[in-house]
């Protein structure tokens, strides 16, 4: 096993979870000082306080943490060797049981187990969102390996506004939980704290009952609120629940902070904000630190592949979660980008055997970085350029975070890409890429779906285009606001 590299100490911050293997604890001067500030995880077993015992499902998650505490320091060559051992199993499974890959993977015929290299792997054609849309069930395995759990649907509009649906499994859910726990441990979160998630609620617009937010040990509650509700309602709810942590989208965070800057409102107990789902611009970080005086920590994920990269504990850039995904950043010629170059992100989910996503061009762009000062050898992404979502402004002047893709996809099965553009307070331009122009009845059905998902206060006007381009900065804007001065970041 490779020797672990050292990292800089953090004298003022204590780990919220059991100390990582190899991390040296400060020597106390007395027994009372030894107890001061020490947090013992809440046990998942009745009658047991210490040592804390995880719940049964969490034990598997913690077993992965033990391995990952070591693998995050491995030399690049060692990490890549184990990635390819796993990918070989995925390729063999896809070639045997997934119709879409039978011809596509013949390019590797004759490659023996243990011989896979990056050069050989890059012979496999890229998988595009259009491929996924057109392949349908041909991209789904005919025989899922034993122990992977029952498959379930994962639907997303994605970073290009192009809707796709793939299958997830119990294994992909396990990795999502485990990577979330690593994310919490990296950033020393207090698991006894309360978390407020202002996010998308799929079943109801009413706040859900509190649930635990950490896989493994018992944790404080997570309370949720619907992100599509106006910002004034969100802020009132946030002040009422008074959480330690807030989880939401960058565009929504900016509006909350701006409103607090205008009103002087505060969330007294708030320690940190975690963002997801969109590009986190430096201006949003700065606004949150200025108005709320708390830091913002970001993670990069996608519904179809889970967590891809999380912010370094010591720097604003991101570490690829290489135990779960293999990430390539490619230039226009399909060659790997050097640090400082911006290229297309190509992702292989190493553990999804239900819908293998092999060399999947997700639609985002990124800039790779060099070695990290924290000592972790997981690859660095300096910047990620993907989707941005501007807020919509209601005729009342309040603002809302728009969620519309699922409703529009249900109304229009032929939809390939969509974008909303707001130019006035009462009208939304709906740009569509579809296989064929909609009939008047289909347009009416789409208007009704948008009215239900967003607001009946808007008039929806349809515009048909061949392609919806990215901005000059390389980002796709799922929603564009062209109302002057209302979206300073994006």
69 touches 104 (CB < 8 A): no
Report pLDDT digits (tens) over 313-368.
999 999 999 999 999 999 989 999 999 999 999 999 999 999 999 999 998 889 99
* pLDDT (0 to 100) of residue 420: 93
Q: What is 390-481's CATH number, 3.30.1310.10, 3.40.1580.10, 2.40.110.20, 3.30.300.30?
A: 3.30.300.30
Q: Residues 218-245: what's their mean pLDDT?
A: 92
Look up residue 42 and give its DSSP letter: B
* Helix-, strand-, coil-residue percentages of the chain, each rounded to 5: 30, 25, 50
Report pLDDT digits (tens) over 374-385.
999 999 999 998
* pLDDT (0 to 100) of residue 72: 97
**What is the distance between the alpha carbons of residues 18 and 4, in angstroms, rounded to a whole number?**
18
**What percentage of residues in the chain have a pLDDT greater than 90?**
58
**What is the distance between the alpha carbons of residues 198 and 201, in angstroms, rounded to a whole number?**
9
- Chain mean position to CA 185: 17
* pLDDT (0 to 100) of residue 50: 72
* pLDDT (0 to 100) of residue 59: 84
**What is the distance between the alpha carbons of residues 438 and 187, in angstroms, rounded to a whole number?**
49
Collapse the DSSP code of 311 into the 3-class scheme (helix H, G, I; strand E, B; otherwise coil) and give the result. Answer: strand
* pLDDT (0 to 100) of residue 179: 95
**What is the distance between the alpha carbons of residues 395 and 382, in angstroms, rounded to a whole number?**
39
Alpha-carbon separation of residue 429 from 406, 407, 412, 447, 458 (angstroms): 18, 16, 17, 11, 10
* pLDDT (0 to 100) of residue 399: 85
* pLDDT (0 to 100) of residue 2: 44
Choose between 236 and 283: higher pLDDT: 236
Report pLDDT digits (tens) over 179-211.
999 999 999 999 889 999 998 876 544 445 777
Confidence of residue 158 (pLDDT cuts 50, 70, 90): low
Task: Please list the residues that pair with 19 across neighbouring strands.
Answer: none
- What tokens does 432 get? 């569509």
52 touches 41 (CB < 8 A): yes
Number of alpha carbons in the 13 Å side-chain half-sphere of residue 481: 22
* pLDDT (0 to 100) of residue 36: 45
113 touches 89 (CB < 8 A): no
Q: Which fold has domain 56-388?
A: Rossmann fold (3.40.50)
Look up residue 127 and give its DSSP letter: B
Report pLDDT digits (tens) over 3-29.
444 444 443 333 333 333 333 333 444
**What percentage of residues in the chain have a pLDDT greater than 70?**
84
Look up residue 336 and give its DSSP letter: B
Alpha-carbon separation of residue 136 from 51, 140, 208, 331, 429 (angstroms): 49, 8, 34, 28, 30
Query: Residue 71: is its pLDDT beyond 90?
Result: yes
Collapse the DSSP code of 286 into the 3-class scheme (helix H, G, I; strand E, B; otherwise coil) and give the result. Answer: helix
Confidence of residue 460 (pLDDT cuts 50, 70, 90): very high
Look up residue 218 and give its DSSP letter: B
Q: Residues 264-280: what's their mean pLDDT?
A: 93
Domain residue extents for the chain: 56-388, 390-481
What does the mean pLDDT of the chain come to? 85
Report pLDDT digits (tens) over 88-117.
999 999 999 999 999 999 999 988 888 999
Confidence of residue 387 (pLDDT cuts 50, 70, 90): confident
């Amino acid at each position: 096993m490779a020797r672990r590299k050292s990292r800089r100490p953090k004298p003022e911050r204590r780990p919220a979870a059991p100390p990582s293997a190899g991390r040296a604890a400060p020597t106390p001067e007395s027994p009372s000082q030894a107890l001061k500030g020490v947090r013992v995880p809440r046990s998942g077993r009745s009658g047991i306080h210490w040592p804390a015992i995880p719940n049964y499902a969490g034990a598997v998650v913690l077993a992965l943490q033990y391995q990952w505490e070591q693998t995050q320091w491995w030399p690049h060559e060692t990490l890549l060797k184990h990635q390819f051992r796993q990918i070989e199993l995925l390729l063999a499974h896809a070639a045997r049981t997934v119709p879409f890959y039978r011809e596509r993977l013949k390019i590797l015929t004759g490659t023996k187990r243990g011989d896979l290299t990056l050069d050989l792997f890059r012979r496999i054609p890229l998988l595009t969102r259009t491929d996924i849309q057109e392949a349908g069930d041909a991209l789904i395995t005919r025989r899922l390996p034993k122990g992977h759990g029952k498959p379930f649907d994962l639907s997303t509009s994605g970073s290009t506004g192009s809707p796709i649906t793939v299958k997830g499994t119990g294994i992909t859910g396990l990795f999502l939980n485990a990577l979330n726990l690593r994310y919490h441990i990296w950033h020393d979160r207090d698991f006894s704290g309360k978390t407020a998630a202002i996010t998308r609620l799929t079943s109801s617009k009413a706040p859900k009952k509190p649930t635990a937010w950490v896989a493994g040990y018992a944790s404080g509650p997570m309370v949720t609120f619907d992100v599509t509700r106006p910002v004034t309602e969100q802020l009132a709810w946030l002040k009422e629940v008074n959480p330690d942590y807030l989880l939401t989208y960058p565009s929504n965070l900016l509006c909350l902070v701006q409103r607090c800057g205008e009103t002087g409102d505060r969330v007294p107990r708030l320690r940190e904000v975690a963002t997801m789902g969109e590009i986190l611009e430096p201006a949003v970080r700065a606004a949150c630190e200025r108005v709320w005086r708390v830091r913002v920590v970001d993670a990069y994920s996608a519904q179809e592949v889970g967590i891809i990269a999380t912010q370094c504990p010591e720097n604003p850039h991101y570490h690829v979660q290489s135990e779960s995904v293999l990430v390539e950043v490619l230039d226009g010629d399909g060659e790997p980008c050097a640090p400082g170059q911006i290229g297309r992100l190509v992702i292989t989910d190493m553990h999804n055997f239900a819908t293998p996503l092999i060399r999947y061009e997700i639609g985002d762009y990124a800039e790779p970085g060099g070695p990290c000062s924290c000592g972790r050898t997981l690859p660095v992404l300096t910047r990620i350029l993907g989707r941005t979502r501007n807020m919509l402004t209601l005729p009342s002047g309040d603002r809302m975070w728009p969620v519309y893709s699922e409703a529009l996809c249900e109304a229009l099965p032929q939809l390939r890409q969509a974008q909303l553009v707001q130019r006035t307070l009462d009208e939304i331009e709906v740009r569509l890429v579809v296989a064929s122009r909609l009939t008047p009845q289909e347009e009416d059905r789409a208007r009704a779906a948008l009215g239900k998902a967003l607001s009946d206060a808007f008039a929806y006007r349809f515009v048909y285009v061949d392609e919806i381009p990215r901005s000059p900065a390389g980002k796709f804007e799922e929603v564009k606001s062209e109302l002057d001065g209302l979206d300073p970041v994006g």
